[in-house]
A and B are shown apart, each in its own frame.
Chain A
Amino acid sequence: MTPVEQPVQGADANTPDRGGELVIEHVSHAYVSARRRTPALDDVTFSIQAGEVCCVVGPSGCGKSTLLGLAAGLLPPSSGRLVWDGELVRVGPNRHIGMAFQQPGLFPWLTVRENVAIGLRTRGNNRRDARRIAEEFLSTVGLADFQDAYPSQLSGGMAQRVGIARALALQPRLLLLDEPFAAVDAFTRLKLQQELLALLKRYRPTVMFVTHDVSEAIAVGDVIVVMSPRPATVRRIIPVDAADRNRSSAQFAHKLGETLECLGVITIP
Chain B
Amino acid sequence: MRLRDRFLLPLAGVCIVLVVWQATVVMYRLPLIVLPPPWDVALALAQLVDTYAFWRDVGVSLYEFASGYAIGVAFGVAIGLAIGESRTFRLAATPVVESLRFIVPFAWIPLTILWFGTSYTGKIALVAYAVFFVMVVSTARAIAAVDPTLSRVGTALGMGRLHLAWSVHLRAAAPTIASAARAAAAIGWVAVVAAEYIGASAGLGLMITNAASSLATPVVIAGMIVIGLVGAGVSALIGWLARLRLDYQ
Contacts and interface: CB of A to CB of B under 8 A. Distances in A.
Given A74-B152, A101-B152, A101-B153, A108 B158 contact: no
Given A93-B160, A95-B158, A123-B158, A105 B153 contact: yes
Contact of A122 (B163, B174, B249): B163
Interface of B, secondary structure class, is helix
A170 B149 CA distance: 19
Contacts of A97: 156
Nearest to A92: B160
Contacts of A98: 156
B171 interface: yes
Interface residues of A, number: 26
Contacts of B248: 108-109, 150, 152
A118 interface: yes
A98 B163 CA distance: 18
Contact of A99 (B150, B153, B167, B171): B153
Contacts of A123: 157-158
A152 B248 CA distance: 8
Contacts of B160: 92-93
21 contacts: A69-B152, A93-B155, A93-B156, A93-B158, A99-B152, A103-B149, A105-B149, A105-B152, A105-B153, A107-B168, A107-B172, A108-B172, A108-B248, A109-B172, A109-B246, A119-B157, A122-B159, A150-B248, A152-B249, A170-B157, A170-B158
B126 to A, nearest CB: 34
A74 B155 contact: yes
Nearest to A102: B149
Contacts of A64: none
Contacts of B167: 118
A108 B249 CA distance: 7
A122 B157 contact: yes
A247 to B, nearest CB: 31
Of the listed residues B150, B152, B249, the one surrounded by the most CB atoms of chain A closer than 10 A to its CB is: B152
A240 interface: no
Contacts of B249: 108, 150, 152
Interface string A159-179: 000000011001000001000
A122 B156 CA distance: 11
A-B interface, 6 closest residue pairs, ranked by CB to CB distance from nearest: A99-B156, A119-B157, A105-B149, A105-B153, A93-B158, A122-B158
A93 B163 CA distance: 11
B147 interface: yes
A167 B168 CA distance: 17
A74 B156 contact: yes
Contacts of B159: 93, 122
